Amino acid sequence: MTTKNQLWPSLLFILFFISAPSLWSQQNKKPNLLFIMTDQQRFDAMSIAGNKVLKTPNLDRLAKQGARFKNAYTPCAVCAPARTSILTGTTVENNGMRTNEYAYSYKKEGLMTMPTFDEILTQKGYHCEYFGKWHTQSSNARIYKNPLKTNAAGKSVFGPEGSLLIYEDFLNEKSPNRPLKTGELYDTYTNRPYKTDPLDKFHGKTDADVKQSKRKIIQPDLHGELLIDKEYTVTAFQAKQTIDALERLKDSTFSITCSFHFPHAPMLPTKPYSTMYPASKMVAPFSIADKMENTPYQKANGRHEHTEYADPEKIKYMISSYYGLIKEVDDWVGKILDKVDALGLADNTLVIFTSDHGEMLGAHGMREKNVFYEESAHIPLLIRFPNQIKKNTLVNGYVSNVDLFATIFDYLKADKQKSDGTSLRGLIEGTDTQNGKYVVQEWDYRGDTEPNYMIVKDGWKLIIPYSETSKVINVLYDLNTDPHEMNNLLGSNPDKQKYADKAEDLRKTLVEWLIKNKSSHIEGVQKRKLI
C-alpha cells in the first residue's frame, strides 16, 4: 500500500514537469524594454539627486533598484534634435534634425535616414508601442502597433502622432469645457480654464484682453493652476495608456515607450500638485541676478523681453509649478512600476528613465532650454534591469543620451547596431576604462551667431562655435569651483592666458570627438582662436 510520504516525490515530479516549460520559457524569453521619458526635466529635479524640496520617491526607488548616472547630458538642449539622437543613437549633425522645425512631415534630403531602435526591434520580432510626445520624423513612427482608434472627427489615429488627438476626445468626454470665471483664462494646450499666477503674461487680464492682444501666446507664457481633475491630465492619460499596454502585452516581447509632455510648459499643474510646493517657500536660483557681462548668452531665450524670469519673487511661482508637475509624473511612474511588478515582468524588463533636456527655471534670469548651461544641458538618467544591473549603482562618468541606443541593444541581447554612441553597460559594471571621461553636446548649425559645441571633462566646460571667424565669445567654466557658471575664464577675462592650456586640452578632445563622428566642422574648431 502506497503511503502519503511515498506519493510526494511523484507529485513533485508531476508539478515540475507541468511548470518546467513555463519556467524555461520565461527564462529564455527575449528581454522587454520600458522606456520612460519626460520633457524638460533637469538633472537636479529628483530628491535622490540632492533636491531638498522636491520629493520623488518613485524615481528614487528606480535609481536604488538599478543605476543612476550622475553626469548624464542631452545630445542637444532642444526637443526634436535630442529625441532624434536618442531614438537613432546618432549625433545631431549626422541625423540632420537640427531644429524643431524639421519634425513630423518636414521634407529635407538626408534628414533622419537611419532607423530608430524600435524600427530595428520590430524587425527582430518585438511588439512596439509608443505613448505621448513624439516630435521627430513621422515616417519613423509607422511601425508602432498602438491600438487603432477613431477620434470624434472620424479619423483613424494611432501611434505617437495620434496620442494628442485621442487625449482631446478623452478630455471632451470626461471634462467638457465650461465658460471662464473671473481670474481665469484658457490653456492653449488643453483649451481648459486655468487660474493665472503673477508670472503669467496675462495675469490680471480677461479673455477679451487676450483676444485683443497682438501678442502670440505660446506655452512658456502660461503659468498657474489648471482647473481639471487630476485623473484627466495629460500625464495621467499617458501613464494609463502605458499601464493598459503592459497588461495587454504581458505575454508578448515588447518595447513600450511612455513619453510624458511634462514638466515642459505650460507650467500648469492641477490640484493637489499645484499646492504641494507653496511659492512662498521656494528659493530663487543662485545665478538669477547674474550680470551676464562675459557670456555669449546675454540675449539668449529672450532674456531682455522676459525680465520677469529674473525677478527673484516671481520665479518662485514657476519653481512651485515645475515641482508640482514633476511630482505628478513621479506618482504615475510609481504606478507604472507597480504594474510591471504585479505582472511579474520586472526581472525580464529593461527600464530606462530620462529626459530630453533640462529647464533653466530662472537660472541666469532665463526660462526654457537652448543653452549649454547645466540647468539646460544636464539631465536625469536611471536604468534598471534586475539580475543584470546591481542595485544602488552610481555611475560618475560623463555620458550622453546618444549612448542609450547602443545600451538598449546590449542589454536586450540583440545584434550590435551601428551607432555614434557607446553602450553604457561597461560603465555600469565598472569594466569600461575608456569611455565616460568627457561628454559633448551640440547646438543649431544654421549659422555662427551662437555657440555650437560644449565639452565637459574633469569638471571643466568649454563652449565655442564651430567657425574660425565667429565673433561669439569663447567660454571656459571650472564647474569644480564655479558650479553656477558665473565666471567665464575666457572672453574678456584679463587673466585668460592662465587658462590657455586647459582650454586647448578640451578643444583637442572635442576635435577627437568630431573626427570620430566624421563631422564637417573639424577644421573650423581646430583653427578657432581660443585666447
Q: Is the pLDDT of residue 14 over 60?
A: no
Q: Is the pLDDT of residue 6 over 70?
A: no
Q: Is the pLDDT of residue 16 over 50?
A: no
Digit-coded pLDDT (tens) for 117-144: 999 999 999 999 999 999 999 889 999 9
CB 480 within 8 A of CB 459: yes
Predicted pLDDT at 504: 98
Which of 234-243, 439-448, 456-465 has the least mean pLDDT? 439-448
Digit-coded pLDDT (tens) for 395-435: 999 999 999 999 999 999 998 899 999 999 999 999 999 99
Digit-coded pLDDT (tens) for 149-163: 666 666 666 567 667
In the chain, the percentage of residues whose pLDDT exceeds 70 is: 92
Who's near 308: CB < 8 A, 6+ residues apart?
199, 314, 315
Digit-coded pLDDT (tens) for 37-51: 999 999 999 999 999
Predicted pLDDT at 255: 98
Arithmetic mean of pLDDT, 322-350: 98
3-state secondary structure 167-227: HHHHHHHHCCCCCCCCCEEECCCCCCEEEECCCCCCCCCCHHHHHHCCCCCCHHHCEEEEC
Q: Is the pLDDT of residue 18 over 80?
A: no
Predicted pLDDT at 15: 45
Predicted pLDDT at 151: 62
- Measured between alpha carbons, how far is 148 from 140 in angstroms, rounded to an integer? 17
Mean pLDDT over all residues of the chain?
A: 93
Report strand pairing: 381-384 vs 349-355. antiparallel
Predicted pLDDT at 457: 98
Report strand pairing: 224-226 vs 67-73. unpaired
Predicted pLDDT at 445: 76
Q: Is the pLDDT of residue 193 over 90?
A: yes
- Measured between alpha carbons, how far is 240 from 260 in angstroms, rounded to an integer? 11
Arithmetic mean of pLDDT, 332-353: 98
Q: How far is CA 426 from CA 32, 79, 108, 383, 407, in A?
A: 20, 28, 37, 13, 10
Q: Is the pLDDT of residue 523 over 90?
A: yes
Arithmetic mean of pLDDT, 329-333: 98
Q: How far is CA 217 from CA 101, 103, 185, 226, 277, in A?
A: 18, 21, 12, 16, 26
- Measured between alpha carbons, how far is 151 from 11 in angstroms, rounded to an integer? 54
Report strand pairing: 453-457 vs 438-442. antiparallel
Q: How far is CA 375 from CA 37, 212, 286, 295, in A?
A: 17, 35, 12, 16
Domains in the chain: ranges and CATH: 30-437 (3.40.720.10), 447-531 (3.30.1120)
Helix (H) or strand (E) holding 156: strand 156-157
Predicted pLDDT at 21: 42
Q: Is the pLDDT of residue 5 over 60?
A: no
All 3 cell numbers of residue 431? Answer: 569594466
Number of Cβ within 10 Å of residue 135's Cβ equals 21
Digit-coded pLDDT (tens) for 487-519: 999 999 999 999 999 999 999 999 999 999 999
Indicate the pLDDT class of residue 12, thresholds 50, 70 and 90: very low
Arithmetic mean of pLDDT, 462-488: 97
Q: Is the pLDDT of residue 174 over 50?
A: yes
Task: Give the 3-state secondary structure of residue 349.
Answer: strand
pTM of the model: 0.93
